Copies of this chain bind each other. A is one copy, B any other.
Amino acid sequence: MATQHLDPTDPTAGPVPADALAGYLRAQATEFLRALRLHRETGAGGPEESVDAARALRRSARRISGSLHTFQALLDADWAEDMRPELAWVSGTLALEHAYASRLERLLQALHRLSGAPVFSARPATDVAVAGGSAASGRSAAPGGAGPAAPTATAERGNLTVGAAKAGALLERQLTLARTRAHSTALQALGSSRFHAVADKVAVLASEVPLADGAAGADLRPLAAAAEERLTDAIAALPLVTAGHPYNAEALVHGLSPDPVPHPQDAPWHQVRLLLRLHRYAREVVHGAPDPADVRLLTAGEALDRHRDASEAAAAAAQAARTPRIAPATAYALGVLHADQRHEVEAARYAFRHCWQKEAVGTS
């Protein structure tokens, strides 16, 4: 592989000085400020640009926060400890609106798939994705866009069974309300003094990275290798043998459990998703830029994103089924939908396992 000599775990590669970390953090801080400016400029204008700007903000906030975590030993300890939770708060707050929008889109698409293709001869399933996408970006800036599902949306699904249509309307109502609340919360957060303090600190970071005493000459590679080791350890603890057998029916095992935490089995996978991201960011720091080998990490990460999304969509379907006074047909459709998404969870584990095994073979 062309990038093999840049592998942070490769003992024959040369040391990577802390300067690379400083350069990376400065670049990400600059990117954060650029995205923030764009967000302020587009906030009242085109919603698509606003969504892009919010995504760029989250993206850089995650990278700064992740790098502070992995390379904390080389940074001013107090500064890094103050900064990390604030950046996590920013990216977490901004992520929620997008999460609700894409969860609704995923669930509505699944409902359409489950209702059978022939139903959509006049209205192809892709329309839904487009409608969902425009709802996510188009309506997000409109105040009061939530509330009960628009009657038109329900009429558009008139060809579905009553249960599927009602389940879709219920999910649309609940998740649109949640998304609108998340949107308001994000707007409030961006206008808060807490956020201004974060932005000020990032502005300082863009020109001056507070390295720890004597860190300037240190090698980044051992810390990057430690991040990779945390990832591989966590992956080694996953039930990958089971995940590698298709149709193992593991993901739905607790599907009807009275356990209030419905799927504790998902937690280690979510954890691996976060560790994989930290590993990927550490590689970016060490290599100075995303390198071709990252494509594999991206694919593995996408499988884990899908795992997380399906897990949360399944939980949303189960949650909606607990709405009082719903019709049995609605509850039935939500049960089918829940199980469908739990099988997506299982499919994502299978995909991750195969991707990761290829990865292990490819880089060993």
Contact = CB atoms under 8 A, between A and B. Distances in A.
A119 B246 contact: no
A257 B115 contact: yes
A335 B340 CA distance: 10
Looking at A116, A326, A336, A347, the one whose CB has the most chain B CB atoms below 10 A away is A336
A114 B336 contact: no
A330 interface: yes
Looking at A114, A115, A328, the one whose CB has the most chain B CB atoms below 10 A away is A328
Contacts of A330: 328
B256 A116 contact: yes
Interface residues of A, number: 45
Interface string A88-119: 00000000000000000000000101111111
Given A246-B247, A331-B331, A343-B343, A336 B256 contact: yes
Contact of A257 (B161, B249, B327, B334): B161
Interface in A249-265: 249, 252-259
Interface of A is mostly: helix
Contacts of A256: 111, 114-116, 160-161, 163-164, 333, 336
Interface string A321-339: 1000011111111111111
Interface in A113-139: 113-119
A32 interface: no
Contacts of A284: none
A350 interface: yes
Copies of this chain present in the complex amount to 2
A315 to B, nearest CB: 13
Contact of A332 (B159, B254, B334): B334
Nearest to A323: B328
Given A247-B347, A347-B247, A336 B117 contact: no
Contacts of A117: 253
Contacts of A249: 113, 340, 343-344, 347
A346 interface: yes
Contacts of A255: 114, 336, 340
Contacts of A343: 247, 249, 252, 339, 343
A116 B255 CA distance: 7
Contacts of A161: 256-258
Contacts of A252: 114, 336, 340, 343
Interface in A209-241: none
Interface in A180-234: none
A326 B332 CA distance: 11
Contacts of A334: 332, 335
A259 B347 CA distance: 27
Nearest to A247: B347
Contacts of A329: 321, 331
A258 B337 CA distance: 16
13 contacts: A113-B253, A118-B257, A119-B258, A159-B258, A161-B256, A249-B344, A249-B347, A252-B343, A321-B328, A326-B328, A331-B332, A332-B335, A338-B339
Interface of A: 111, 113-119, 159-161, 163-164, 246-247, 249, 252-259, 321, 326-340, 343-344, 346-347, 350
Q: Which 7 pairs of residues, A with B, have the shortest CB-CB distance?
A: A335-B335, A246-B246, A339-B339, A247-B347, A116-B257, A328-B331, A332-B335
